[in-house]
Amino acid sequence: MASRARVRYTAPPGGSRAPKQLVVGPGSPGEQRFVFYDTLEIGRFETGRAETPGMVLVEDSTVSFRHCILTQHQGGRCTVRDLSRNGTRVDGRRLVPNVETEVAAGQAIEVAAGLTFVLVGGDGPVEADSAIAGGTLVAPGFTIATVLVGDIRDYTVMVRQAPSRELQQSVGRVFERLTAEVVRCGGTVKEYQGDAIFAFWEGTADGRQAVGACRAALALNALAGQIAADRRVWDVPGFSMGMEWALATGPVVIDSIGGASQRAGLSMIGEAVVRAFRLEKFATPETGPILACETTYQMASSHFAFRSLGEMHAKGFERPDRVFALLGPQAPAGLSVPGAVR
């Protein structure tokens, strides 16, 4: 969808690589095309700012002075790096600041103003338009997110007893594989906390983020089982690897960490974050490896089968939560999943 934000742009001179384009509103009367060869930067227009060739300047105060940079690498591969306060998204997935993220032709790159670009190849006409100023207006980072926490079982024992080097290297390889799967499933990895991976899916009250996170949790749990049996990934003598997972959905506030010149990561505040970390501690062989809060269950129960575990009182919460075990996809009509909530 084309944005009402006006955009200024000066085409760069030809480069050694084949041209790429960012397109706003492809096929619409207001379609705009921005050609680049090596790099293209998106930022905020301010009165007096030089309009450098190859820079897209957006007249919207929620866009950062330097918002994101696209780079075309050898062979035509493209990456995008977020530098902003309010975030850059690729196909709806929020990027971690200052991390090069691959972007392919046809994918949508959204900046904080709601301005969406589509990456395409080839050359084409360029349209431009006309001015506002000031610092970045921080847009409320309020969203409804499903948080997924995955924790390596018995890690404290391993830290005390296992060879440190082998444990550290194995955990690094595990998280590398899990991160790739989170990204494949449309999520964002916020951080790692020792033996835990913390990821999230953003959305609205329609619950699509909960469905996506549940699908990812099942895929990640299956991947963890494969990793545990692969000595090339998990190689800690005398210790097997297992993981437990928890999903919690609720309103959160997301913001970028760091000053304007060097965004360093994301902060996320909300009960769903705390609840996910607390619920994961309830997982046992009897409950199953993937637990979910009631909101996640309600949003995703038409797609996945759950088993009710009753009420559990998580530390730091006034009241107990209804907790559910995620079992798998919903069975076809006429069939049922043993133990599933009806």
Q: Does domain 7-121 have CATH number 3.30.360.10?
A: no
d(CA 83, CA 88): 8
Measured distance CA(83)–CA(62) in Å, rounded: 13
Residue 312's identity, in one-letter code, is M
Q: Is the pLDDT of residue 23 over 70?
A: yes
| pLDDT attached to residue 133 | 37
3-class DSSP string for 36-103:
ECCEEEEEECCCCCCCCCCEEEECCCCCCCCCEEEEECHHHCEEEEECCCCCCEECCEECCCCCCEEE
- The first and second tokens of residue 25, run together, are 């509103």
Considering the domain delimited by 142-329, tell me its CATH architecture: 2-Layer Sandwich (3.30)
Whether residue 124 is predicted with pLDDT greater than 80 in this model: the reply is no
Lowest mean pLDDT among 13-17, 79-83, 147-151, 246-250: 13-17
Return the bridge partners of 253, or none: 142, 269
pLDDT value for 253? 85
By CB atoms closer than 10 A (0-12, 13-18, 19+), residue 6 is middle
More confident residue, 204 or 132: 204
**Residue 115 — very low, low, confident or very high, per pLDDT cuts 50/70/90?**
confident
SS3 161: helix
Identify any residues that bridge with 56 across adjacent strands, giving them in sequence order.
Answer: 9, 42
Q: How far is CA 154 from the centre of its chain?
A: 27
Q: Where are the alpha helices (DSSP H) in 185-289?
A: 208-228, 271-280
Q: Place 126 in a pLDDT band, splitting at 50, 70 and 90.
A: very low
Q: What are phi and psi of 45, to 5 degrees?
A: -75, 135
CA distance 101 to 115: 19
pLDDT digits (tens, 9 = 90+) for 193-233: 888 999 999 988 889 999 999 999 999 999 999 999 999 99
> d(Cα 141, Cα 247) in Å, to the nearest integer?
21
Domain ranges in the chain are 7-121, 142-329
Phi and psi for 222 in degrees, rounded to 5?
A: -65, -40
Q: Which one has a higher pLDDT value, 192 or 15?
A: 192
Q: What is residue 260's predicted lDDT score, i.e. its pLDDT?
A: 55
pLDDT for the residue numbered 189: 92
Please determine, for residue 128, whether its predicted confidence score (pLDDT) is greater than 70. no
At residue 130 the predicted structure's pLDDT band, cuts being 50, 70 and 90, is very low
Tens-place pLDDT, residues 271-303: 999 999 999 999 999 999 999 999 999 999 999
**Mean confidence (pLDDT) of the chain:** 86
Positions of E strands within the chain: 7-9, 20-24, 32-36, 39-44, 55-58, 68-72, 78-82, 89-90, 93-94, 101-103, 108-110, 116-121, 142-152, 188-193, 196-203, 243-257, 265-269, 290-293, 304-312, 321-329
CA distances from 38 to 17, 89, 103, 128, 206 (A): 7, 21, 14, 20, 39
The answer to whether residue 45 scores a pLDDT higher than 80 is yes
Q: What percent of the chain has pLDDT over 90?
A: 59
Q: Is the pLDDT of residue 42 over 60?
A: yes
DSSP designation for 341: -
